[in-house]
């Protein structure tokens, strides 16, 4: 399997099993959301070493010990207000 296909598989698993959006994946990996989208669409023929390593690190952290780690969407004490 080539690197781009492997990264796309990781992103798909993060979406499906961890329930993360592409934006949340990008934020967790510290890369741009457009990078995640380009990888999924197959437009990124050779992502940079930093992008690939960041995604792989985030994937490993998320699925550490075989269990999905939950990520807090908002900073502590900064949850959104209830809608009116």
pTM listed for this prediction: 0.76
User: Would you place residue 75 in the very low, low, confident or very high pLDDT band (cuts 50, 70, 90)?
Assistant: low
Radius of gyration of the chain (CA): 14
Assigned token pair, 74: 């908002």
Residue with tokens 């949340």: 24
Q: Thinking of the domain 3-66, which architecture would CATH place it in?
A: Orthogonal Bundle (1.10)
pLDDT digits (tens, 9 = 90+) for 25-58: 999 999 999 999 999 998 988 899 999 999 999 9
């Amino acid at each position: 399997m080539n690197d781009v296909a492997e990264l796309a598989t990781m992103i798909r698993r993060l979406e499906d099993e961890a329930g993360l959006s592409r934006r949340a994946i990008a934020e967790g990996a510290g890369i741009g959301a457009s990078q995640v989208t380009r990888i999924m669409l197959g437009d990124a023929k050779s992502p940079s070493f930093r992008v690939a390593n960041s995604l792989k690190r985030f994937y490993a952290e998320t699925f550490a010990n075989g269990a999905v780690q939950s990520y807090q969407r908002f900073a502590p004490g900064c949850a959104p207000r209830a809608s009116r």
